[in-house]
């Protein structure tokens, strides 16, 4: 979740540094950024829980609006395209997202991360993968090494590849 | 007999309501209603009788539905190939050139708005996200 690390961690945090490197490349035009409304929903969910834990209270409407506005403002200034996840998940009169997500899960294996743990893409990850592919994205930027299995989707004819941030950038 | 006089003799239920928007003393609009009511012929009441199909619809041979093989529907004789053009994706925000300095401006920006986030580490965020994505193996 690059947006959370970028907006909500200290500049001295390693992940903040790495995400900043990536976003600077987006800013410079090396990458054309595309996100969906599902990305936004995930950002908001993580931020709500994290902030609520810190405050020890439920967030107010104003606080939630602040989180939303900061995200939207950043995305807008960064020139990132926002697509409607509903549009991407529907065929002609039929929702196709879950069928393809199942295909993603079935057709991919597992990978061992730098921490020696075995990972793969889960249900929500698979939805991100399908949406990214449908959006025409070539790379899926993430910190999660589990997304390496996306390389295996070439046998479906997909050109989507993972961009594992800690492997591409160094803090 | 003037129209107004005739209107004055209307039964009460046909007279304009006191709040009906007509000029005071002018109830001509009610006359039209009266004439209309009078000219509608009263229909003769038809006694109800049980419904019966027309003779040609009464068949002794039972109607059997034809259930063709699936290939029949897919055959060119039955259906024409219909191509629905792919709609362009709705862009809630279009891609455009970034404003220089945005990355630096927004790095850790929420910390200034919510000082409580000051000591949040990426590990905590990672665990929250992992839990939300149902990757329970990452739970401490």
Q: Which residues pair with A35 in a beta bridge?
A: A82
Alpha helices, DSSP H only, in A9-157?
14-28, 37-55, 61-78, 85-89, 97-107, 123-134
Position with higher pLDDT, B128 vs B19: B128
Q: Measured between CB atoms, does B93 come within 8 Å of chain A?
A: yes
What are the pLDDT digits (tens) for A155-167? 888 999 999 999 9
Q: A143 and B89 in contact by Cβ < 8 A? A: no
Whether this model's pTM surpasses 0.80? no
Q: Which residues pair with B91 in a beta bridge?
A: A83
Distance in Å, alpha carbon of A155 to nearest chain B alpha carbon: 24
Position with higher pLDDT, B67 vs A56: A56
Nearest-angstrom CA–CA distance, B135 and A113: 14
Nearest-angstrom CA–CA distance, B4 and A93: 64
pLDDT at B58: 55
What are the pLDDT digits (tens) for B1-47? 444 555 455 566 555 555 544 445 555 544 444 444 455 555 566 66
Selecting from A50, A76, A143 the residue whose C-beta is nearest the C-beta of B124 gives: A50
Mean pLDDT lowest among A60-69, A158-167, B56-65, B97-106: B56-65
pLDDT surpassing 60 at residue A62: yes
Selecting from B95, B111, B135 the residue whose C-beta is nearest the C-beta of A81 gives: B95
pLDDT at B30: 47
Confidence of residue A95 (pLDDT cuts 50, 70, 90): confident
């Amino acid at each position: 979740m690059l947006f959370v690390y970028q907006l909500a961690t200290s500049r001295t945090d390693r992940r903040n540094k790495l995400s900043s490197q990536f976003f600077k490349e987006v800013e410079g035009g090396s990458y054309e950024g595309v996100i969906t409304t599902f990305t936004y929903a995930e950002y908001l969910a993580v931020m709500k829980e994290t902030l609520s834990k810190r405050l020890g209270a439920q967030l107010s409407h104003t606080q939630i609006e602040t989180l939303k506005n900061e995200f939207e403002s950043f995305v807008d200034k960064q020139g990132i395209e926002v697509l409607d996840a509903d549009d991407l998940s529907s065929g002609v009169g039929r929702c196709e997202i879950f069928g393809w997500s199942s295909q993603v899960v079935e057709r991919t294996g597992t990978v061992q991360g730098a921490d020696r743990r075995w990972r793969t893409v889960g249900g929500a990850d698979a939805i991100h993968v399908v949406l990214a592919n449908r959006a025409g994205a070539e790379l899926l930027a993430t910190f999660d090494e589990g997304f390496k299995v996306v390389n295996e989707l070439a046998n479906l004819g997909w050109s989507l590849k993972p961009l594992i941030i800690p492997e591409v950038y160094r803090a | 007999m003037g129209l107004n006089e005739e209107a004055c003799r209307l039964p009460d239920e046909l007279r304009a309501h006191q709040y009906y928007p007509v000029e005071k003393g002018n109830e001509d609009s009610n006359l039209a209603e009266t004439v209309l009511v009078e000219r509608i012929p009263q229909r003769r009441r038809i006694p109800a009788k049980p419904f019966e199909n027309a003779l040609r619809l009464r068949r002794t041979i039972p109607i059997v539905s034809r259930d063709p093989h699936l290939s029949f529907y897919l055959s060119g004789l039955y259906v024409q190939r219909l191509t629905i053009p792919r709609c362009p994706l709705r862009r809630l925000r279009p891609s455009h050139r970034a404003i220089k300095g945005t990355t630096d401006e927004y790095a850790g920006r929420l910390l200034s708005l919510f000082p409580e986030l000051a000591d949040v580490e990426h590990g905590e965020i990672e665990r929250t996200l992992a839990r939300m994505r149902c990757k329970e193996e990452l739970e401490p």
